[in-house]
Chains A and B, each alone.
Chain A
Amino acid sequence: MHIDKTYRRAYNIEPSMCWECYSCVKACPHHAIDVRGYADFAPLGHSVRVHRDEEKGTIAWRIKFRNGKKDMELLAPITTKPWGTCIPKLAEVAAPSKDMRDSQLLFNEPRYIRLDDGGLHTLKSNGLKFKAGVYY
């Protein structure tokens, strides 16, 4: 989407490279972007509209069929937490120890792998080895 400098309105500059991903539609606070399916396969007269609300943590859709027989409203959650509040700032967590650096573990591991005290899987722990050749 680009802004037309004369009319000061947004428009799709290259429909043939548009994924119909609705990112622009969802982002516009004024619902100013309307979409119709691309003419090559989509007849006129349908509509799919959306309202995404970060504060409420929901997304609401309305789908209307061309023949008017179906008019659906669907609602889904987009987050379970107040937006962005539950993501840690890793600059502020305790720095990794040397042991941790020398291990294969990542941040929050091993705890977050199974949410218990179990360690990381290794070839040894799982009784495995690598062999070259044809195996199925």
Chain B
Amino acid sequence: MGHKTIIEDDIDILVVGAGLGGTGAAFEARYWGQDKKIVIAEKANIDRSGAVAQGLYAINCYMGTRFGENNPEDHVRYARMDLMGMVREDLLFDMARHVDSAVHQFEEWGLPLMKDPKKGTYMREGRWQIMIHGESYKPIVAEAAKKSADKVFNRICVTHLLMDDDKANRVAGAVGFNVRTGNYHVFKSKTVICGAGGASNIFKPRSVGEGAGRVWYAPWSSGSAYGLMIEAGAKMTQMENRIVLARFKDGYGPVGAYFLHLKTYTQNGLGEEYESKWFPALTEMVGKEYLDTEGQHLSHKPIPTCLRNHAFISEVNAGRGPIHMVTMEAFQDPHLEEIGWHNFLGMTVGQAVLWAATDVDPKYENPELTTSEPYVMGSHATGCGAWCSGPEDVSPPEYYWGYNRMTTVEGLFGAGDAVGGTPHAFSSGSFTEGRLAAKAACQYINDGKAAGIRVSDEQISRLKEKIFKPLETYRVYSNEVVAGSVNPNFINPRQGLDRLQKLMDEYCGGFGVNYMTNEKLLNIGLRKLKTLEEDMESIAASDIHELLRAWELHHRIRTSESVFQHTLFRKETRWPGYYYRGDAMKLDDTNWHVLTVSHRDRKTGEYTMEKAPLYHLVGDEQGE
């Protein structure tokens, strides 16, 4: 095969995936490791890669301790409540106590943050969100990362992590290929910070055909963070905790600013308020501690996102759809109307395209909302990801093994979507996690923990053969058919992705089954996934672009397997509105007030599941 092998040696810190987490990591690593070799391997071009490619109109995680607005523990309590208790409060506290310092630097770097002219504070969209003109958010943080890194390798799809040949369970770098030239890239590194993002497109999307890319999380979020870390043997947590989003139909335009800032609200197809009528029954399912029908408004506790979804889904199932966002009142104010449009242009342009195409003017017509297909990620209102160590001064013993944000694989760190149990980090929190991981990675190296790593030529050439095999399969078998893509000897990546999405939808609780599953369905799904994995041995790529899709599919399958295993393990319905276990419809705090942790054996592929205790932040004095 004519693919050149390009080896980058002696790296201290390799950042795999430079989105918000990865750019934060690369930037900060230079401060703690001024003499260290810092390299970025990124699938796209870091100026526009990742979930923030389009920009953002808000920074969703900002404490404002500077203005006396919130303390870190307030945010922890909020995230805990929103996730029905299931978060890593040590990691969240740590992120929240640092996040403002990232945001203040963004402002200094030129990111336009809006100001509240009366209060002199940043303009709040909600309690945690501040408004920005963030079209260039990603290019700005990319600039910071580029200033720190020794080298940036754009357009490298990282497919596998390298492991130390002498010491089991220690990372040694990564390999991948250039998605344009097809060259094979080997990065030998003492540490790896994985920021390769969450997973879209593993459940069948509502969008079809030409428009199938119109998903909420970016179509290039290929679950690589999970695929890479799981295969390296890292323990994962809360992978069952997929997220479903209520968004504007067909465009997935954001609703946060609409609710919080523009004061729009939802109603059913008959023009009625519908949420509250579902709450008494829902309180029965989840318990008064999580939804207090009478007291909720008095306690000022926000209603968990999943429970609001539940009301939405139930109302539509009762035949009273569609759910509308009432914009016609707010949009009479030209200033608010303008904000409404800017909100899309700054982060979901496709929504503006859609409304222009369908003549939906929200000033005169209330647009439709929908609930999305599920997504697996760990920085928005959900917390899938790797089981990571917390910081020394905060974490209880079960959550601490030496280096902040290090996974259970030595030398392998995570940031953003890659880290489990840390929902509501969003862009600023992901960047902050990258910074925390970078400091810890430098310390790990300084402590001599990365001494004597060995990567054999055998490992490097074995992976090379594996990576390029789909091209070979295509070369050998494509001439066995006259034309077209139906071949008895192989499947192509699109066909494989379609199969994955269909089985995830039907067996793991996608939108097509109203987010419902049970033990029997999950077991069937796992079996079908296994055969899909067998077929992956025969996946074919006609060119380098398809090779990229083949490896993205591989990571998506690995992510999906983990989602199945976790969903099977947690025998309760913890997050009605995200998914339902039909055979265990109630929330069960007696048995399941725990975090789920999985481990996939690197050799056998067998899964072991365990429950990890939940620690909660409580006031010291009261000794609650």
Do A and B form a real pair?
A: yes
A45 within 8 A of B: yes
Chain A residues near B624 (CB, 8 Å)? 131, 135
A6 to chain B, nearest CB (A): 16
Residue interface mask A68-79, B partner, CB < 8 A = 1: 011010101111
Residue interface mask A107-128, B partner, CB < 8 A = 1: 1111011111010111100111
CA of A132 to CA of B616, assembled, Å: 6
> Closest chain B residue to A63 by CB distance?
B356
B449 within 8 A of A: no
B98 within 8 A of A: yes
Report yes or no: B219 in contact with A19, Cβ–Cβ below 8 A. yes
Report yes or no: B356 in contact with A46, Cβ–Cβ below 8 A. yes
B73 within 8 A of A: yes
Report yes or no: B352 in contact with A126, Cβ–Cβ below 8 A. no
B448 to chain A, nearest CB (A): 15
Docked complex: B125-147 residues within 8 A CB-CB of A = 133, 135-136, 140, 143-144, 147
> Closest chain B residue to A95 by CB distance?
B34
CA of A86 to CA of B225, assembled, Å: 31
Report yes or no: A38 in contact with B34, Cβ–Cβ below 8 A. no
Report yes or no: B435 in contact with A16, Cβ–Cβ below 8 A. no
CA of A50 to CA of B350, assembled, Å: 13
Report yes or no: B211 in contact with A42, Cβ–Cβ below 8 A. yes
Report yes or no: A23 in contact with B589, Cβ–Cβ below 8 A. no
Report yes or no: B136 in contact with A74, Cβ–Cβ below 8 A. no
Chain A residues near B477 (CB, 8 Å)? none
Given contacts A59-B135, A87-B144, contact A132 B338 (CB under 8 A): no
CA of A68 to CA of B394, assembled, Å: 59
> Closest chain A residue to B359 by CB distance?
A67
* Number of B interface residues in the complex (CB < 8 A): 95
Chain B residues near A72 (CB, 8 Å)? 341
CA of A81 to CA of B393, assembled, Å: 37
A117 to chain B, nearest CB (A): 12
Residue interface mask B441-453, A partner, CB < 8 A = 1: 0010000000000
Docked complex: A34-75 residues within 8 A CB-CB of B = 35-48, 50, 52, 54, 57, 59, 61, 63-67, 69-70, 72, 74
Given contacts A21-B54, A65-B356, contact A78 B396 (CB under 8 A): no
Q: Which of B25-33, B151-159, B465-473, B526-534 contacts A (4 or more CB under 8 A)?
A: B25-33
**CB-contact partner of A35 in B213, B342, B353, under 8 A:** B353
CA of A135 to CA of B54, assembled, Å: 39
**CB-contact partner of B109 in A13, A76, A81, under 8 A:** A81
B215 within 8 A of A: yes
**CB-contact partner of B147 in A79, A87, A134, under 8 A:** A87
Chain A residues near B80 (CB, 8 Å)? 136
B120 within 8 A of A: no
Report yes or no: B620 in contact with A48, Cβ–Cβ below 8 A. no
Chain B residues near A64 (CB, 8 Å)? 356
Interface-centre pick from A17, A19, A39, A106 (highest chain B CB count, 10 A): A19
B488 within 8 A of A: no
Report yes or no: B136 in contact with A78, Cβ–Cβ below 8 A. yes
B480 within 8 A of A: no
B100 within 8 A of A: yes
Report yes or no: A130 in contact with B135, Cβ–Cβ below 8 A. no
Report yes or no: A128 in contact with B616, Cβ–Cβ below 8 A. no
A9 within 8 A of B: no
**CB-contact partner of A70 in B213, B290, B361, B436, under 8 A:** B361
B391 within 8 A of A: yes
CA of A95 to CA of B215, assembled, Å: 44
Chain A residues near B614 (CB, 8 Å)? 132-134
A121 to chain B, nearest CB (A): 4
Chain A residues near B32 (CB, 8 Å)? 96, 101, 107
Chain A residues near B168 (CB, 8 Å)? none
Report yes or no: A107 in contact with B341, Cβ–Cβ below 8 A. no
A56 to chain B, nearest CB (A): 12
Docked complex: B577-624 residues within 8 A CB-CB of A = 589, 593, 613-621, 624
Report yes or no: B211 in contact with A76, Cβ–Cβ below 8 A. no
Q: Which of B4-12, B64-72, B237-245, B456-464 contacts A (4 or more CB under 8 A)?
A: B64-72
Report yes or no: B211 in contact with A40, Cβ–Cβ below 8 A. yes
CA of A85 to CA of B100, assembled, Å: 22
Chain B residues near A81 (CB, 8 Å)? 109-110
B247 within 8 A of A: no
Q: Which of B202-210, B312-320, B373-381 contacts A (4 or more CB under 8 A)?
A: B202-210
B40 within 8 A of A: no
> Closest chain B residue to A130 by CB distance?
B615
Chain A residues near B104 (CB, 8 Å)? 112-113, 115
Chain A residues near B485 (CB, 8 Å)? none
CA of A57 to CA of B140, assembled, Å: 12
A51 to chain B, nearest CB (A): 12
A17 to chain B, nearest CB (A): 5
**CB-contact partner of A104 in B89, B290, B357, B391, under 8 A:** B391
CA of A81 to CA of B373, assembled, Å: 39
Report yes or no: A131 in contact with B101, Cβ–Cβ below 8 A. no
**CB-contact partner of A52 in B72, B135, B250, B435, under 8 A:** B135
B479 within 8 A of A: no
Report yes or no: A37 in contact with B357, Cβ–Cβ below 8 A. yes
Report yes or no: A106 in contact with B617, Cβ–Cβ below 8 A. no
Chain B residues near A44 (CB, 8 Å)? 357
CA of A131 to CA of B350, assembled, Å: 46
